[in-house]
């Protein structure tokens, strides 16, 4: 088969979406298929092919709600003209999916879509987006969900959409088939008798790092040395390409090595548009600008409503906290954060505040902040005694499959389908937490600290969980097995209503 995969980010960018698409794409290439990935242009990607997978880059960012910027038209034209047997798009609320809404009827290839959780489903700003979503989903031949019951799966059922499969994530049998490196602790200066906690997640502010750091500070260890490895990478930085218009009014890709030109004056652009498209072109551009400014006005209106709501519910303290959160990173870059009071520092940059608190702990605790290479991260999974996860918003956390692949048990808040993963694998514990009105998981650091302490005091239970999780992964959740299921679905075979693998 000739296949086109579309996702916002791809290798060398690091993250759940990137890893899932890479694992499937590379395995399908190994089986003789031709796979191209359409994705965001990145400054640190210096190649157009990786492990047999072709990469087509586009300088685009955004989505329908926030607005899309860059080579949107070039991407749409690329997909429309790409001759293939099937297209697989991963994740809503990002440009590789949103930009294709007007073109789905024109695409003759088999169309598959992985919604990836609908994280904005309860966000007021996305209400119109999800009102239109059922009609968009019906244009796809098949959908893939990762959870038996979650907001995206339930959304499809409520709207009478049944052409989908439940297909779990997994972890690589190649990466996690290596032996444990007994020198990991030594080279990372971790005492051999230390209890090692590990968390893995991009530093986006919603992966639970703050809650875990505060829980680590609160943790009572009963004289047991505890090491907390907080492994995280910064979010990828897309390269957005500003394009000049060609004589036919379409966006032209920049020539190789050519920097995007400065935008010409409005009058010059208007003259060029009129010469090529006449009054209709001018009217179209004016309509677009009016739409842009109406959206900005709506954004300011929502901001005013949000400020009013915070004032009513939380008063001046709530307003102050949010202002400090907005200006905190700037104050830190300017070296001024240290002049604020401790409470103001916590509000301004909670992660930096609790990181400093954790690093100031007694000799019985040690914090390691890392961004390990992939090979070293696999060894960190294997060396850890307990994987801890407190993310605020997820779909189907890939890291939970990776930790059971390493034979390490996990303690997770009930985020995404973490409870299902604990049940499917038998390798995890769920820490009590609540969800707010927008569906974000909020855990009390005190409760989290208590659950971590209980786990530390029950090593026999952790050993059993680790063994059970590893056995379940080996049987059902390797990427080799999962890629076979995707191959069947991309061919159009094995079609079923609500099929669960």
pLDDT at res. 386: 98
pLDDT at res. 249: 40
**pLDDT above 50: residue 171:** yes
In sequence order, what are the residues at sequence separation of 6 or more whose Cβ sits closer than 8 angstroms to the Cβ of residue 289?
none
Q: For residue range 157-167, what is the model confidence (pLDDT) as tens digits?
A: 999 999 999 99
* Domain presence at residue 138: yes
* Domain presence at residue 359: no
* Domain presence at residue 259: no
What is the C-alpha to C-alpha distance for residues 411 and 449, in angstroms, rounded to an integer? 11
Nearest to 243 by CA among 254, 257, 258: 254
Name the burial class of residue 215, with classes exposed (0-12), middle (13-18) and buried (19+) by CB atoms within 10 angstroms of its CB. buried
Answer yes or no: are the C-beta atoms of 501 and 485 closer than 8 Å: yes
Radius of gyration of the chain (CA): 24
Mean pLDDT, range 488-495, rounded to an integer: 83
pLDDT at res. 63: 95
What are 110's strand-pairing partners?
A: 86
**pLDDT above 70: residue 155:** yes
Say what percent of the chain tops pLDDT 70. 85
Residues 141 and 221 in one domain: no
Mean pLDDT, range 111-125, rounded to an integer: 94
Q: Does 160 or 354 have the greater pLDDT score?
A: 160
pLDDT at res. 336: 72
**pLDDT above 90: residue 304:** no
Answer yes or no: are the C-beta atoms of 93 and 65 closer than 8 Å: yes
Q: What is the overall mean pLDDT for the chain?
A: 87
| 12: preceding bond cis by omega (within 30 degrees) | yes
Mean pLDDT, range 130-135, rounded to an integer: 97
Number of Cβ within a 10 Å radius of residue 126: 19
* Domain presence at residue 345: no
Look up residue 245 and give its DSSP letter. B
* Domain presence at residue 245: no
Residues in the chain: 501
**pLDDT above 70: residue 319:** no
Q: For residue range 419-430, what is the model confidence (pLDDT) as tens digits?
A: 999 999 999 999
54, 65, 233, 234, 353 from 241: Cα distances, Å: 20, 20, 24, 22, 37
What is the C-alpha to C-alpha distance for residues 337 and 324, in angstroms, rounded to an integer? 10
Residues 62 and 138 in one domain: yes
* pTM of this structure: 0.76
Name the burial class of residue 225, with classes exposed (0-12), middle (13-18) and buried (19+) by CB atoms within 10 angstroms of its CB. middle
Mean pLDDT, range 276-298, rounded to an integer: 78
Answer yes or no: are the C-beta atoms of 41 and 58 closer than 8 Å: yes
Tell me how far apart the terminal alpha carbons of the chain are, to the nearest angstrom.
Answer: 22
Q: For residue range 217-244, what is the model confidence (pLDDT) as tens digits?
A: 999 988 799 999 999 887 777 777 665 4
Residues 57 and 155 in one domain: yes
Among the ranges given (209-213, 244-248, 268-272, 371-375), the one the predictor scored with the smallest mean pLDDT: 244-248
**pLDDT above 60: residue 353:** yes
Residues 78 and 205 in one domain: no
Residues 100 and 112 in one domain: yes
Residues 166 and 188 in one domain: no
**pLDDT above 50: residue 266:** yes
Give the DSSP H or E segment for 325.
helix 266-333
Residues 50 and 198 in one domain: no
What is the C-alpha to C-alpha distance for residues 195 and 186, in angstroms, rounded to an integer? 14
Residues 18 and 154 in one domain: yes
DSSP, collapsed to helix, strand or coil, labels residue 439 as: coil
- Residue ranges making up the domain that contains 102: 2-170+479-500
DSSP 93-158: SSHHHHTTGGGGGG--SEEEEE-TT-TTTT-GGGHHHHHHHHHHHTTSSEEEES-SSSHHHHHHHH
In sequence order, what are the residues at sequence separation of 6 or more whose Cβ sits closer than 8 angstroms to the Cβ of residue 367?
213, 216, 227, 228, 230, 355, 358, 359, 361
Q: Does 7 or 302 have the greater pLDDT score?
A: 7
Residues 117 and 24 in one domain: yes
Half-sphere exposure of 264 (CA within 13 A, CB side): 10
pLDDT at res. 251: 45
Q: pLDDT category, 478, cuts 50, 70, 90?
A: very high
**pLDDT above 80: residue 335:** no
DSSP 446-464: HHHHHHHHHHHT-HHHHHH
Q: Annotate 404-420 with b (16+ C-beta within 10 A) or e (fewer).
A: bbbbbbbbbbbbbbbbb
* Domain presence at residue 304: no
What is the C-alpha to C-alpha distance for residues 89 and 21, in angstroms, rounded to an integer? 9
Q: For residue range 88-107, what is the model confidence (pLDDT) as tens digits?
A: 999 999 999 999 999 999 99
Among the ranges given (55-64, 219-228, 295-304, 437-446), the one the predictor scored with the smallest mean pLDDT: 295-304
∠33-37-43 over CA atoms, to 5°? 140
Mean pLDDT, range 336-343, rounded to an integer: 68
Residues 134 and 212 in one domain: no
pLDDT at res. 255: 41
Answer yes or no: are the C-beta atoms of 18 and 29 closer than 8 Å: no
pLDDT at res. 379: 98
Q: For residue range 372-405, what is the model confidence (pLDDT) as tens digits?
A: 999 999 999 999 999 999 999 999 999 999 999 9
pLDDT at res. 347: 57
**Number of domains observed in the structure of the chain:** 2
Number of Cβ within a 10 Å radius of residue 465: 25
**pLDDT above 70: residue 313:** no
pLDDT at res. 318: 56
What are 199's strand-pairing partners?
A: 230
Residues 424 and 485 in one domain: no
pLDDT at res. 500: 54
Mean pLDDT, range 325-340, rounded to an integer: 69
pLDDT at res. 34: 98
Answer yes or no: are the C-beta atoms of 172 and 20 closer than 8 Å: no
Residues 451 and 403 in one domain: yes
Answer yes or no: are the C-beta atoms of 219 and 211 closer than 8 Å: no
What is the C-alpha to C-alpha distance for residues 177 and 303, in angstroms, rounded to an integer? 50
pLDDT at res. 311: 62
Mean pLDDT, range 264-290, rounded to an integer: 76
**pLDDT above 50: residue 259:** no
pLDDT at res. 479: 96
Among the ranges given (62-76, 126-140, 332-346), the one the predictor scored with the smallest mean pLDDT: 332-346
For 210-355, strand residue ranges (E) read 226-231
* Domain presence at residue 66: yes
| 465: preceding bond cis by omega (within 30 degrees) | no
pLDDT at res. 121: 93
Q: pLDDT category, 252, cuts 50, 70, 90?
A: very low
pLDDT at res. 262: 45
Q: Does 248 or 455 have the greater pLDDT score?
A: 455
Nearest to 195 by CA among 454, 498, 482: 454
Look up residue 222 and give its DSSP letter. T
For tokens 């240290």, the residue is 338
* Domain presence at residue 243: no
The CATH number given to whatever domain includes residue 127 is 3.40.50.2000
Q: Does 307 or 205 have the greater pLDDT score?
A: 205
Mean pLDDT, range 143-163, rounded to an integer: 95
What is the C-alpha to C-alpha distance for residues 357 and 336, in angstroms, rounded to an integer? 18
**pLDDT above 90: residue 328:** no
Cα-to-chain-centroid distance, residue 438: 18
pLDDT at res. 499: 55
Give the DSSP H or E segment for 276.
helix 266-333
Mean pLDDT, range 306-318, rounded to an integer: 61
Q: pLDDT category, 60, cuts 50, 70, 90?
A: very high
């Amino acid at each position: 088969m000739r296949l086109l995969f579309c996702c916002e980010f791809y290798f060398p960018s690091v993250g759940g979406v990137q890893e899932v698409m890479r694992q499937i794409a590379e395995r399908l290439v190994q089986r003789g298929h031709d796979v191209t990935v359409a994705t965001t242009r990145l400054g640190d990607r210096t190649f157009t092919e990786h492990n047999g997978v072709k990469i087509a880059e586009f300088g685009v960012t955004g989505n329908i709600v926030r607005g899309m910027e860059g080579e949107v038209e070039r991407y749409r034209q690329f997909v429309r003209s790409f001759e293939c047997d099937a297209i697989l798009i991963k994740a809503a609320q990002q440009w590789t999916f949103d930009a294709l809404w007007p073109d789905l009827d024109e695409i003759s290839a088999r169309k598959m879509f992985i919604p990836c959780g609908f994280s904005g489903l309860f966000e007021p700003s996305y209400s119109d987006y999800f009102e239109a979503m059922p009609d968009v989903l019906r244009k796809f031949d098949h959908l893939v969900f990762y959870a038996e019951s979650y907001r995206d799966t339930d959304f499809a059922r409520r709207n009478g959409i049944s052409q989908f499969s439940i297909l779990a994530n997994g972890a690589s049998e190649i990466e996690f088939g290596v032996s444990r490196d007994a020198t990991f602790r030594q080279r990372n200066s971790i005492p051999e008798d230390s209890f090692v906690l590990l968390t893995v997640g991009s530093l986006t502010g919603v992966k639970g790092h703050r809650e875990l750091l505060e829980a680590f500070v609160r943790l009572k260890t009963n004289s047991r040395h505890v090491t907390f490895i907080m492994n995280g990478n910064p979010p990828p930085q897309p390269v957005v390409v500003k394009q000049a218009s060609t004589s036919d009014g379409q966006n032209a890709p920049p020539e190789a090595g050519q920097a995007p030109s400065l935008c010409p004056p409005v009058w010059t652009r208007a003259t060029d548009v009129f010469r090529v498209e006449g009054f209709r072109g001018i009217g179209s551009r004016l309509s677009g600008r009016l739409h842009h400014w109406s959206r900005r006005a709506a954004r300011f209106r929502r901001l005013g409503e949000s400020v009013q709501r915070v004032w009513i519910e939380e008063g001046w303290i709530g307003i102050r906290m949010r202002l400090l959160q907005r200006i905190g990173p700037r104050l830190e870059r300017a070296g001024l954060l240290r002049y604020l009071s401790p409470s103001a520092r916590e509000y301004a940059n909670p992660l930096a505040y609790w990181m400093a608190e954790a690093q100031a702990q007694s000799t019985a605790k040690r914090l390691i902040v890392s961004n390990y290479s992939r090979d070293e991260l696999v060894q960190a999974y294997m060396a850890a005694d307990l994987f801890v996860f407190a993310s605020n918003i997820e779909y189907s956390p890939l890291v939970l499959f990776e930790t059971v692949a390493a034979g390490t048990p996990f303690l997770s808040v009930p985020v995404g389908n973490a409870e299902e993963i604990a049940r499917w694998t038998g390798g995890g514990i769920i820490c009590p937490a609540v969800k707010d009105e927008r569906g974000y998981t909020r855990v009390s650091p005190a409760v989290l600290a208590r659950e971590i302490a209980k786990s530390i005091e029950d090593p026999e239970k952790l050993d059993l969980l680790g063994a059970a999780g590893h056995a379940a992964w080996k049987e059902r959740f390797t990427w080799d097995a999962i890629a076979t299921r995707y191959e069947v679905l991309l061919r159009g075979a094995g079609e079923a209503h609500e099929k669960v693998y």
